[in-house]
Structure 1
Amino acid sequence: MPTLSSRLRSLLPDPGPARALTIASFPSSIGRGLFITASVVFFTKSVGLSPLQVGTGLTIAACIGLLAGVPMGHLADRIGPRTMTIVFGLVVAGVINLYFLVSTWPLFVAVASLVSVGQSAFQASRGALIAGSVPSEQRVRTRAYLRVVTNVGWMVGSPLAGLALFFDTRAAYASVIAATGAVTALGALLYLRVPPVVPQHASKRESISAALRDRPYVALTVLNAVLTIHFGITNVAIPLWVLERTEAPAWVVSALFVVNTIMIVTLQVRTSRGSATVPGAARAQRVGGLLLAGACMLYALSAGWPAWAAAAILVAGAAVHAFGELYMAAGGWGLSYELAPDHAQGQYQGLYNTGFQVADIVAPAVLSVAVIGLGWPGWVLMAACFATAGLLVPAAARWAVRTRPVTSEPVPTP
């Protein structure tokens, strides 16, 4: 029978850069779980901001963070992605502690914006570090391991933050903020275990606008952003849908989160197989889009049934949704890496990550209006969006392949 240690090791790739990258991501994932769970309550109860001020401030900060991905990724290409990953990780850890000084809404927006910029820069640099540290055929698999460990980290961090919610004191919430900064700093320092990646030679450097001028890559970023709106279904649409439009008990929302988490942790690496090439990645995103559309239709069917039947339909929808998420994520990793020039991975990953950030910003409003406002026709509309985006990905990927420049390797100047 497998031991606990062997099960834990199965969550990690083989020893080497991929394992070092995965281990380094774990502490910051715990911090993310801590922060997401308790931060809003800290801002409202301890700082004294209204929920509207918190939501508006975080939205403004997210919009400002959009501007950082491409230029900071370009900086990582020039200086070296490992160095900048560590630097940006430590910057985020330090800025998080500035939340202790927040007493007004403008100051909250300023600190949240600094955190958002730092996180965008960190993600772009880490993307370039992954690209430079592992062979191209292993990048998607490595990202799959990273996602598994990230989810495990959230599972660890969220219950710990629940202790602060239980005690409900400023000291308890402050300890969560401090712990978030500490584990984020630890995660940044652990990237020292990853071998350094040599900065790109001056003769191979792209201009800072290269990714933005790559129209097929921009198109794929937009399509991925549409598919990424599905994250808001789990976080925003489903809780509201269950409470307002179905007879299912409220506890089913937690059950759906559990279904999603278990499937991601146990199946992400397996479902990433075949997505390391452009055709395979495009097929994965197409499948992901169609599965997300199917999940939307199941969610729509859950209205008007008795509680037990509604709950069963919702669980089935969550399972289909999780499979769609698995394939969509794997396909996105493959496309983002394989279609980006190796000497500009930082700025290209920064651009691709911008799609995720845009989706995070627009998803709550779009889903609230479409699903809660329109009811089942809104689910049909979202299904059509996901299916259309998924079906367009292969054509956009072929366009991107046709436009990739064919160049010979320059000989470095001594």
Structure 2
Amino acid sequence: MKSAASSSARQRPGLRARLAASMSDPVLRALVTSTAVSRIGRGVFLTVTVLFFTQIIGLSPAQAALVLAVSSGFGVVASLLGGWLADRWSARRLSFVFEALGGLLLAAYAFAGDFVSALVLASLSGFFDSIAHSSRSAIIARGFAADRRVHARAVLRTITNVSIAIGGAVAAIALALGTAEAYRTVIVAAGVLCTIGSFPLLRLTAAVDAPPRPVVAPVLTATGSIDADAVAAAVATEKRDWRRRSPWRDPRYLVLTVLSAVFGMQFGVAELGVPLWITEQTEAPAVIVSVLLITNTTLVVLFQVRASRGTHDVRTAGRVTMIAGWLMAAACIVYALAAGLPAWVAIVVLIIAMIAHTFAEILSQAGAWGLSFELADPVRAGAYQGVFGMGFSLGALFSPIVVNATAITFGFAGWGMLALIFLAAAFGIWLIARRAAASAPVAEAV
């Protein structure tokens, strides 16, 4: 028995071999190359944006918040539009064009000098970046087999985290120098990197684009002339079938999108709730915010791919989402417990909470990807991914409001409210997945 186990262990490919096997896929290779380059630029930009607005341009905190909120609002609309366009035009060309435009607009931030110019540039940049992101989701839906889509998303998310961390390190140069020239230089560099990162997308093949809609053949009468009424009826039938496949006519998918958006507010907890809680309600030093961010990024890089295995199966996707719900609820309660404790104890408690939070994030993302692909109509993959992406954008837009109205306002009771919200959302997603899995054999039999 031991010999067999040892033989099996020897035969199992190592991490490097598994990565090499993944990168042998030309679609994944192009996406990984593009992501690795462009997300370094995004990491630079995300790190310096707010401080550039407030310290260099001279915007007030309220104006900076408004710029970011409006940009997010444009991103919501763009997510939907990007999916719609990806079902009608070439998804690979859309991704290339809009990502390149988004990069150029990021570089143009360096020349913003007041509130209006910052608002316009942020809105346009967020708009084009979200369209490109929706197009990429359509590419993943069509470019990989069902059991490889979630793996591809997990690999790309891992690369994204690594690249953003590198970008954050580059941005530290501007933060350390603190001059307007340093900020503007790294912003231009960030935009150029994002633009360069769009070029590998040109290596994608037409296989990732939406298949052409069926063309109605002319119907001839007995005399050999075209039967206009029959052709019109066939065209109307094709249009009805196209509209019938719309995600807006799929209640199950819409509920899944809403619940996933609710659970997606956990990103708002990490970005807004935890830093404010640490600085206002705990004895832990502010630097612990950076420690928690590093902890989160490291765990995502190490575990996102392996945690995503098998989540192309809807039952598995629902199960891991339910586990994520319990972990997120526990994280909320543990975050709350850090208040009033001695500094060193609070630090330990916060790290434990972040570990639970990060694994909730990892599992919830894996489950969401699997369900968003498997429960979508493949004919309208772009539209479905656009709607799902729009849901996440809405969750990101409202999460600061919800987090502030619960945890930050009511303390421990507010954290308890958040825990119940996440648990309820996870339960709803689990229920959808369970019912979808139960009905699948019936659908296949028909």
Query: Normalised by the size of structure 2, how large is the TM-score?
Result: 0.85
2:105 alignment counterpart: 95
Match of 1:79 among 77, 84, 89: 89
| RMSD of aligned alpha carbons | 2.4
- Among 416, 423, 433, which residue is 1:397 paired with? 433
Deviates more, 1:153-162 or 1:102-111: 102-111
1:367/1:125 CA distance change after superposition, 3 Å: same
Q: Secondary structure at the match of 1:201?
A: coil
Deviations 1:211-265 (A, max 9, x none): 2222111111111111111111221111111122122232222221121111100
Equivalent in 105, 109, 134 of residue 115 of structure 2 = 105
CA distance in 2, matches of 1:123, 1:403: 30
Structure-to-structure mapping, 1:255-294, within 5 angstroms: 255-294=291-330
The verdict on how the C-alpha distance between 1:407 and 1:305 changes in structure 2, with shifts beyond 3 A counting, is closer
Letter in 2 for 1:15: S
Q: Secondary structure at the match of 1:202?
A: coil
1:166 maps to a residue whose letter is A
Q: Structure 1 residues 207 and 124 mapped into 2: Cα distance closer, same or farther (>3 Å)?
A: farther
- 8 A contact 1:216–1:397 mirrored in 2: no
- Residue of structure 1 equivalent to 2:340: 304
CA change 1:10–1:256 in 2 (3 A) is: farther
State the one-letter code of the partner of 2:57: V
Find the partner of 1:70 among 80, 93, 103.
80
Q: 1:37 to 1:198 in 2, by over 3 A?
A: closer
Q: What are the equivalent positions in structure 2 for 1:148-159 lying under 5 Å apart?
A: 148-159=158-169
Is the contact made by 1:217 and 1:400 (CA closer than 8 Å) also made in structure 2?
no
Q: Secondary structure at the match of 2:341?
A: coil
1:386 aligns with: 422
- SS of residue in 1 equivalent to 2:197: helix
* Residue 41 (str. 1) matches residue 51 (str. 2): yes
The alpha-carbon distance between structure 1 residues 41 and 8, as it changes in their structure 2 partners (threshold 3 A), is farther
* 1:376-407 deviation line (CA, Å, top 9, x unaligned): 11111100011111011122235567599969
Aligned 8 A contact 1:286 1:391 in 2: yes
CA distance in 2, matches of 1:36, 1:325: 20
The question of whether the paired residues in 2 share the 8 Å contact of 1:228 and 1:359 is answered with: yes
Aligned counterpart in structure 2 of residue 188 of structure 1, from 189, 198, 204: 198
1:21 aligns with 2:23: no
Task: Tell me the secondary structure at the aligned position of residue 50 of structure 2.
Answer: helix
User: Percentage identity across aligned positions?
Assistant: 36
After TM superposition, give the deviation of residue 209 of structure 1 in Å: 8.6
For 1:384 and 1:69, locate their aligned partners in 2 and report how far apart those are by CA, in whole Å. Answer: 28
- Maintained 8 Å contact 2:150/2:311: yes
Match of 1:3 in 2: none
Does structure 2 conserve the Cα–Cα contact (< 8 Å) formed by 1:73 and 1:348? yes
* 2:279 corresponds to 1:243: yes
For 2:200, the aligned partner's letter is L
Give the 5 Å matches for 1:201-216: 201-203=212-214, 206-207=242-243, 210-216=246-252
Q: Contact 1:220/1:393 (CA < 8 Å) preserved in 2?
A: yes
Determine which of 143, 146, 150 is the counterpart of 1:133.
143
**Inter-CA distance 307–135: structure 2 relative to 1 (3 Å threshold):** same
Which consecutive residues of structure 1, in runs of 5 or more, have no partner in the other structure? 1-5, 409-414
Three-state SS of the structure 2 residue aligned to 1:180 is helix
| Equivalence for 1:346 | 382
Q: Shift in Å at residue 375 of structure 1?
A: 0.7
Structure 1 consecutive aligned stretches of length 4 or more whose deviation exceeds 6 Å: 6-10, 403-408
Residue 325 (1) aligns with residue 361 (2):
yes
Alpha-carbon distance in 2 for matches of 1:355, 1:404 = 29
Tell me, in whole angstroms, the C-alpha distance in 2 between the residues paired with 1:37 and 1:319. Answer: 23
CA–CA distance in 2 between the matches of 1:132 and 1:207? Answer: 20
Question: In the TM superposition, what is the alpha-carbon distance from 1:373 to its structure 2 partner?
Answer: 1.2
- Counterpart position of 2:221: none
Letter in 2 for 1:265: V
Tell whether the 8 Å contact from 1:85 to 1:126 is kept in structure 2 after alignment.
Answer: yes
Larger radius of gyration: 2
1:116 aligns with 2:152: no
**Which segment is superposed worse, 28-37 or 103-112?**
103-112
Q: Is the 8 A contact 1:11 1:149 kept in 2?
A: no
What does residue 412 of structure 1 align with?
none
> Structure 2 CA distance, aligned partners of 1:157 and 1:303?
32
Instruction: Specify whether residues 403 and 73 from structure 1 end up closer, same or farther in structure 2 by C-alpha distance, changes over 3 A only.
Output: farther
**Superposed displacement of residue 314, structure 1:** 1.1
Matches within 5 A, 1:349-368: 349-368=385-404
Shift of 1:149: 0.5
Q: Size of the alignment, in residue pairs?
A: 403
The residue type paired with residue 111 of structure 1 is L
Cα 1:112–1:208, aligned 2, differ >3 Å: closer, same or farther?
A: farther
In the aligned structure 2, how far is the partner of 1:104 from the partner of 1:261? Answer: 33
TM-score (norm 1): 0.91
Q: Tell me, which stretches of 5 or more residues in structure 2 are unaligned?
A: 1-13, 215-237
